[in-house]
């Protein structure tokens, strides 16, 4: 349970809110690189932290992330012309390069110096891991770009899924560090379900949470089906600022591992990027991953990211299937998560909830976010922006080990 003031502090991310200021201190996913694949191709819009942005790839192959509204009289540059090294507003022809500099102003008289004084707001960009990233914070505070292994993995081993939720980022994010729910909500759905339940059918994990310089990690410790008196089954999830979850990496090397990012669109909407990576360099089929995890018959997610099953169609829940033994009647774990998270309301009322022992990671993520936002309110750096963090070697994991063995030790050993 939280106070109303803390719930507000955690969930409001617009410009000039404390959490909005904190979030702007990290690199933000803006869209998939494939959405702006072609030089001079169609620009796309993306709203991040409440800011309406336009993204385009110019004639030279570079990507620009600018404010969507033209600085002249605010017409959208998303309906502009992408040509000859810049994006030209169709209203009066003003043109901007990918940094936001105004490079043509044909509606002003020849010799006018207005052009040299005018810029659109442009943001630093990176193209990495199949994602276009941008930094929306103060120029003198740009952090190191975090080179996680799921960002630097070869493109053919990676598959990306981008799906929206009509809910605040925090409740979407909380679902991803809630090891307990997967035994219920995702029963029979997740990729390694059979393997998992053959290892353990314990539904009430003991949570061991540990702060780190990137955020925290936690172990969900369960009693295994075999040797319950001498062994334990441990699933370690990593959580990194400001909204990244690294789900326990399957022990079976043929299964991909997964990182999930919960990017605030505005206070009441979230864009979730799921990054699947084949272990040992095995290639992954983006099409198959999307088909398996997101597709619902009759819904084309490629053309409209927000068209999930909806509250009004009860997430296409199949009651007959439920009576026949299916736990949710909802297809795909992404839809199952969205159904629960959206059904809490756009911003969950955390003054009226009852957290149990299995919610210890939920409590911790709120505490860490509050800690970091209070630091930035006092003028200090937020947590997780230091270049000392070994982003590339952070690993989640799961294993059955001796009851008295340290999971930290086993996890670190898996890196060797």
CA-nearest of 30, 248, 5, 26 to 132 is: 30
Residue from 26, 27, 56, 94 that binds ligand FES (CB under 6 A)?
A: 94
Residue from 14, 50, 81, 92 that binds ligand FES (CB under 6 A)?
A: 92
Token code pair at residue 329 = 């009647």
Q: How far apart are CA 414 and CA 234, in angstroms?
A: 14
* 119 touches ligand FES by CB under 6 A: no
Q: How far apart are CA 76 and CA 406, in angstroms?
A: 56
* 91 touches ligand FES by CB under 6 A: yes
In three-state secondary structure terms, 204 is: coil
Of the candidate spans 19-27, 68-76, 251-259, 289-297, the one that interacts with ligand FES by CB under 6 A turns out to be 68-76
Contact present, 244 and 261 (Cβ < 8 Å): yes
Of the candidate spans 147-155, 218-226, 332-340, 350-358, the one that interacts with Fe ion by CB under 5 A turns out to be 332-340
CA-nearest of 377, 145, 385 to 242 is: 385
Tell the smallest beta-carbon distance from residue 185 to Fe ion (Å): 6
Question: Which run of H or of E encompasses 363?
Answer: helix 360-377
Q: How far apart are CA 364 and CA 354, in angstroms?
A: 15
Q: By C-beta, is 116 or 152 nearer to ligand FES?
A: 116
List Cβ neighbours of 58 (8 Å cut-off, separation of 6 or more): 39, 40, 64, 82, 85, 86, 87, 97, 98
Token code pair at residue 211 = 């702060």
Of the candidate spans 21-29, 152-160, 289-297, 334-342, the one that interacts with Fe ion by CB under 5 A turns out to be 334-342
Of the candidate spans 86-94, 231-239, 264-272, 336-344, the one that interacts with ligand FES by CB under 6 A turns out to be 86-94
Residue from 275, 337, 362, 384 that binds Fe ion (CB under 5 A)?
A: 337
Of the candidate spans 144-152, 213-221, 278-286, 333-341, the one that interacts with Fe ion by CB under 5 A turns out to be 333-341
Neighbours of 407 (CB within 10 A): 21
Q: By C-beta, is 73 or 319 nearer to ligand FES?
A: 73
Neighbours of 105 (CB within 10 A): 17
Q: By C-beta, is 102 or 160 nearer to ligand FES?
A: 102
CA-nearest of 223, 133, 153 to 183 is: 223
Count of H-run helices and E-run strands, the chain = 11, 19
* 342 touches Fe ion by CB under 5 A: no
Tell the smallest beta-carbon distance from residue 94 to ligand FES (Å): 4
337 binds, among ligand FES, Fe ion, none (CB under 5 to 8 A by kind): Fe ion
265 binds, among ligand FES, Fe ion, none (CB under 5 to 8 A by kind): none
Report 205-234 residues binding Fe ion (CB under 5 A). Answer: none
Residue from 73, 141, 403, 409 that binds ligand FES (CB under 6 A)?
A: 73
* 72 touches ligand FES by CB under 6 A: yes
Instruction: List residues binding ligand FES (CB under 6 A).
Output: 70, 72-73, 75, 89, 91-94
């Amino acid at each position: 349970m939280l106070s109303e003031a803390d719930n507000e502090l955690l969930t409001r991310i617009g410009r000039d809110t404390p959490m909005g200021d904190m979030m702007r201190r990290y690199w933000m996913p803006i869209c998939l690189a494939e959405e702006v694949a072609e030089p001079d191709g169609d620009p796309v819009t993306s709203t991040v932290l409440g800011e309406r942005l336009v993204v385009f790839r110019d004639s030279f192959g570079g990507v620009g992330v600018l404010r969507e509204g033209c600085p002249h009289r605010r017409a959208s540059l998303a309906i502009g012309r992408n040509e000859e090294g810049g994006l030209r507003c169709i209203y009066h022809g003003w043109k901007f390069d990918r940094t936001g500099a105004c490079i043509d102003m044909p509606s002003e008289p020849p010799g006018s110096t207005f052009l040299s004084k005018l810029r659109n707001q442009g943001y630093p960009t990176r193209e990495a891991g199949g994602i276009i990233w941008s930094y929306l914070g103060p120029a003198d505070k740009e952090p190191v770009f975090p080179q996680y292994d799921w960002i630097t993995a070869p493109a053919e081993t990676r598959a990306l899924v981008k799906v929206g939720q009509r809910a605040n980022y925090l409740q979407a994010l909380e679902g991803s560090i809630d090891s307990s729910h997967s035994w219920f909500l995702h029963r029979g759905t997740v990729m390694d379900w059979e393997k998992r339940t053959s290892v353990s059918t314990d539904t009430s994990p003991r949570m061991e949470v540990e702060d780190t310089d990137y955020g925290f990690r936690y172990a969900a410790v369960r009693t295994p089906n075999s040797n319950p008196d001498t062994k334990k089954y441990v699933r370690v999830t990593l959580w990194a600022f400001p909204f990244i979850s690294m789900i326990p990496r399957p022990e079976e090397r043929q299964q991909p591992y997964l990182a999930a990012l919960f990017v605030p669109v505005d206070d009441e909407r979230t864009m979730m990027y799921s990054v699947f990576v084949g272990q040992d360099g095995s290639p992954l089929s983006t099409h198959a991953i999307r088909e398996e995890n997101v597709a619902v018959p009759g819904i084309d997610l490629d053309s409209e990211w927000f068209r999930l099953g909806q509250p009004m169609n009860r997430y296409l829940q199949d009651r007959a299937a439920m009576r026949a033994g299916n736990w949710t009647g909802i297809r795909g774990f992404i839809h199952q998560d969205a159904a629960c998270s959206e059904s809490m309301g756009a911003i969950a009322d955390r003054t009226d909830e009852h957290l149990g022992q299995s919610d210890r990671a939920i409590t911790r993520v709120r505490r860490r976010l509050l800690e970091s936002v209070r630091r930035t309110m006092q003028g200090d750096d937020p947590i997780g922006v230091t270049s000392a963090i070994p982003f590339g070697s952070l690993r989640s994991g799961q294993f059955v080990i001796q009851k008295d063995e340290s999971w930290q030790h086993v996890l670190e050993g898996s890196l060797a």
